[in-house]
Amino acid sequence: MFTCEPITLRMCQGLAYNTTFMPNLLNHYDQQTAALAMEPFHPIVNLECSTEIRPFLCALYAPVCTEYGRVTLPCRRLCQRAKSDCYKLMDMFGVSWPDEMECSKFPVCDESYPRAIDLLQSSDGTEESPLSVQRDYGFWCPRELKIEPDLGYSFMGVRDCSPPCPNMYFRKDELIFARYFIGVVSIVCLSATLFTFLTFLIDVGRFRYPERPIIFYAVCYMMVSLVFFLGFLLEDRVSCNAASPGRFRASTVTQGSHNKACTLLFMTLYFFTMAGSVWWVILTITWFLAAVPKWGSEAIEKKALLFHVVAWGIPGALTITLMAMNKIEGDSMSGVCFVGLYDLMALRWFLLVPLALDVVVGVVLLLAGIAALNRVRMEIPLEKENQDKLVKFMIRIGVFSVLYLVPLLTVIGCCLYEQSHRSVWETTWVQERCREYHIPCPFKVEQTSRPDIALFLIKYLMMLVVGIPSVFWVGSKKTCFEWASFFNGHHRKDSAVHESRQVLQEPDFTQLLLRDPNTPVMRKSRGTSTQGTSTHASSTHLAMLDEPPSASTSRAGSMRSKSSSFHGSLHRSREGRYTACSYRGVEERLPHGSTLRLNDPLQNCGVNRLNSHSRHGSLQRLESQSRHSSMRDLTITAQAIQSSPGNGIHRVVGEDATKA
């Protein structure tokens, strides 16, 4: 509340009046500021170039205090005489006539200042009611917070002004605690999201659509936590402008894009914050496509390019728009640069609205997908194991969604609360600091309130915790085995190799040799289908020579109990494959006249092994078992092999078909 105050300006003392009011006609909010603005005119007044120059300057810088709402301006004639008399002297001292002192702005009259009626009203008003001049002047930017006009700063609706740094709402000890709290949480989030991303790099094929967006979601919040960690290390060096005591400038919050480091932090933080929320929406879209229209991974993956365009394009457009509007603001509490910290419009349209839209769209699609999966579980009869897997998958989706939605909704709630109470907080701050900054105090303040630091700590916590749920999706025994194999230097084997081996190891594989080579054969292994023809051959009884005598004797006994001697002659190699080498053993042990011709490169495979065991003893035992039946079966087998194309063994048999 302002009243008529005594004139303290040295130049304006000794005039016909001795009281003034602030702000003056040139919008100086106190006499100290007015005195600094009058300093260039001191040489002109001291040289007494005109008797009108001093009353005219005091009429503008320290006007006479009259009744509330009435402002007395000097006459135009007074301005013209002062300017014409002192213009040459001002030019000599390099002092220009200010635009706000242009004579055309004053009323047409020819009276001295102050006029008699002004002195009478000033005297009556001052004696009768010293508090009569009372009004709300609004917020005046203190001299310590003034910024160069070309930077485009603004604070509380006043241009060329910036908020003080450190944060104007909290004490120094509270800000130190908040900084370390944000730093610790950022490290935890960075570790969780980095682990998720590295797990994906170890086994890229493990996370396919509809789960693939979780990886990009984790990458986005990994960058968000990295920016907050950098802000913890940088402290106030980026988010605040340095103080300049010589120019009466305090440390202020960085605004706009002139600070390259602040701009880079803002671009990274805002872009990946928005991209992370969009990737969560895309994750719900992929789940919806997989659950409702029953799209497969390949069909969803065909839309991957569109997903990337939307996920990276929309945040990029919003980031560029904010940079063009110069809405970047430093955050002295966390050390980063973001949007909507002091500008309520930017907070409303560039943070609250996008996040709210993401939540609405994501929740609708998520509920539709879960409902579809539950309908599948209830209506379609599935095996107990498949039902359990489906239930676990639905539980994982629900838990992951809750772990994402709760922090995000908390952030939106904190921003809404901050938006609704920001004006009260600012008014309270002005009331507490107006006398220190020499600015007008608020008039008739009805409500005062200060923010609780717990509100801001919860907001920062939830902004970072929202990225941690990604680690729960990859957390499983399979992930532990993959990391163990990675540290042990073992590479994951392709599952298709194991399935093919299991197909080859089925008991009825020998029947493939007697089938028509052009007939496709279907084999099922672990719920998958494998189609193809036989391309391998089997070994005979002679392969038993690789085993100890006791093992070969037991094998021979079991062979006698089988209906076909050729069935019992099948033998797999130590790696579980039916190799060409074992078939060479058959060729080596066929009777005279029916032995197949061997090529030189393959002789060492079967012959050397035969020579390394008790050849004569085993040979006598084997020749005593259904010799004629075995030879007949082998002859039929050789003919079947000869007719099937595509194998090197078949070509060898074809070269000597007559002998076979």
DSSP string, 51-110: SSHHHHHHHHHSPBP-STT--PPPPHHHHHHHHHHHHHHHHHTTPPPPGGG-GGGS-S--
**Which pLDDT score, from 0 to 100, does residue 524 have?**
38
Residues 376 and 474 in one domain: yes
Q: How confident is the model at residue 67 (pLDDT cuts 50, 70, 90)?
A: low
Evaluate whether residue 326 is within a structural domain. Answer: yes
Residues 115 and 235 in one domain: no
Residues 311 and 270 in one domain: yes
Q: How confident is the model at residue 660 (pLDDT cuts 50, 70, 90)?
A: very low
Q: What's the mean pLDDT in 365-371?
A: 85
Among 82-96, 173-187, 294-308, the range with the most confident prediction by mean pLDDT is 173-187
Residue ending a domain, choose from 479, 512, 544: 479
**How is 602-656 classified by DSSP, letter by letter?**
GHHHHHHHHHTS-HHHHHHHHHTS-HHHHHHHHHHHHHHHHHS-S-HHHHHHHHT
Tell me: the pLDDT tens digits for 283-296? 889 888 888 888 88
DSSP state of 468: T
Residue 600 has phi, psi (to 5 degrees) of: -60, -45
- Higher pLDDT among residues 529 and 43, named by residue: 43
- Overall domain count for the chain: 2
Evaluate whether residue 658 is within a structural domain. Answer: no
Give the whole-angstrom CA distance, residue 89 versus residue 567.
124
Tell me: the pLDDT tens digits for 191-227? 999 999 998 888 887 888 888 888 999 999 999 999 9
Residues 312 and 405 in one domain: yes
Residues 121 and 196 in one domain: no
Residues 356 and 215 in one domain: yes
Give the whole-angstrom CA distance, residue 596 versus residue 168.
96
Query: Which residues, in sequence order, are CB contacts of 587 under 8 Å at separation 6+?
Result: 595, 596, 598, 606
Give the whole-angstrom CA distance, residue 139 versus residue 157.
8
- DSSP helix/strand/coil, 515: coil
Give the whole-angstrom CA distance, residue 231 versus residue 295.
43
Residues 42 and 94 in one domain: yes
Beta bridge mates, 54:
none
Residue ending a domain, choose from 479, 502, 524: 479
Q: CATH code at 53? A: 1.10.2000.10
How many helices and strands (H and E) does the chain possess? 24, 10
**Which pLDDT score, from 0 to 100, does residue 490 have?**
65
Evaluate whether residue 409 is within a structural domain. Answer: yes
334 contacts 456 by C-beta, under 8 angstroms: no
Q: What's the mean pLDDT in 165-186?
A: 94
Residue ending a domain, choose from 135, 156, 177: 135
24 contacts 140 by C-beta, under 8 angstroms: no
Evaluate whether residue 56 is within a structural domain. Answer: yes
Query: Which residues, in sequence order, are CB contacts of 501 under 8 Å at separation 6+?
Result: 576, 577
**Which pLDDT score, from 0 to 100, does residue 383 have?**
63
Residues 401 and 295 in one domain: yes
Domain coverage including residue 207: 166-479
Evaluate whether residue 418 is within a structural domain. Answer: yes
pLDDT at 506 over 50: no
Q: How confident is the model at residue 267 (pLDDT cuts 50, 70, 90)?
A: very high
**Which pLDDT score, from 0 to 100, does residue 402 have?**
83
Q: How confident is the model at residue 183 (pLDDT cuts 50, 70, 90)?
A: very high
- Higher pLDDT among residues 349 and 447, named by residue: 349
**Which pLDDT score, from 0 to 100, does residue 426 have?**
93
Q: CATH code at 443? A: 1.20.1070.10
Give the whole-angstrom CA distance, residue 571 versus residue 13.
120
Q: How confident is the model at residue 422 (pLDDT cuts 50, 70, 90)?
A: very high
pLDDT at 299 over 80: yes
**Which pLDDT score, from 0 to 100, does residue 590 have?**
42
Q: Give residue for tokens 């100290």.
A: 32
**Which pLDDT score, from 0 to 100, does residue 178 have?**
95
Give the whole-angstrom CA distance, residue 649 versus residue 638.
10
- For 5, 28, 123, 142, 252, the CA distances from 32, given in Å and listed in that order, are 13, 9, 24, 12, 22
399 contacts 139 by C-beta, under 8 angstroms: no
DSSP state of 349: I
Tell me: the pLDDT tens digits for 531-549? 333 333 333 333 333 344 4
**Which pLDDT score, from 0 to 100, does residue 641 have?**
40
pLDDT at 614 over 60: no
**Which pLDDT score, from 0 to 100, does residue 15 have?**
86
Query: Which residues, in sequence order, are CB contacts of 130 under 8 Å at separation 6+?
Result: 3, 4
Q: What's the mean pLDDT in 79-103?
A: 87
Among 275-284, 573-582, 601-610, 645-654, the range with the most confident prediction by mean pLDDT is 275-284
Tell me: the pLDDT tens digits for 92-131? 888 888 888 889 989 898 888 887 777 765 544 433 333 3
Residues 300 and 190 in one domain: yes
Q: How confident is the model at residue 379 (pLDDT cuts 50, 70, 90)?
A: low
User: First CA to last CA across the chain, in angstroms?
Assistant: 119
pLDDT at 356 over 90: yes
Evaluate whether residue 251 is within a structural domain. Answer: yes
Could you count the other beta carbons within 10 Å of the beta carbon of residue 75?
Answer: 20
- Higher pLDDT among residues 505 and 460, named by residue: 460
- For 224, 265, 329, 472, 536, the CA distances from 337, given in Å and listed in that order, are 12, 6, 5, 30, 67
Give the whole-angstrom CA distance, residue 568 versus residue 540.
8
Q: How confident is the model at residue 149 (pLDDT cuts 50, 70, 90)?
A: confident
pLDDT at 22 over 90: no
Residues 227 and 131 in one domain: no
**Which pLDDT score, from 0 to 100, does residue 290 have?**
82
Sign of CA dihedral 187, 188, 194, 198: positive
Amino acid at residue number 227: V
Q: Using H for helix, E for strand and C for coil, what is the string for 269-284?
A: HHHHHHHHHHHHHHHH
Evaluate whether residue 577 is within a structural domain. Answer: no
Q: What's the mean pLDDT in 341-353?
A: 93
pLDDT at 393 over 80: no
**Which pLDDT score, from 0 to 100, does residue 95 have?**
84
Amino acid at residue number 623: E
Q: Which two three-digit tokens encode residue 98?
A: 């200010």
Could you count the other beta carbons within 10 Å of the beta carbon of residue 162?
Answer: 27
pLDDT at 420 over 60: yes
Give the whole-angstrom CA distance, residue 626 versus residue 128.
139
- Higher pLDDT among residues 251 and 567, named by residue: 251
Question: Mean pLDDT score of the chain, rounded to an integer?
Answer: 74
Residues 191 and 329 in one domain: yes
Q: Which two three-digit tokens encode residue 162?
A: 């910036």
- Higher pLDDT among residues 91 and 493, named by residue: 91
Residues 122 and 170 in one domain: no
Q: What is the pTM of this model?
A: 0.62
Evaluate whether residue 570 is within a structural domain. Answer: no
Give the whole-angstrom CA distance, residue 338 versus residue 239.
9
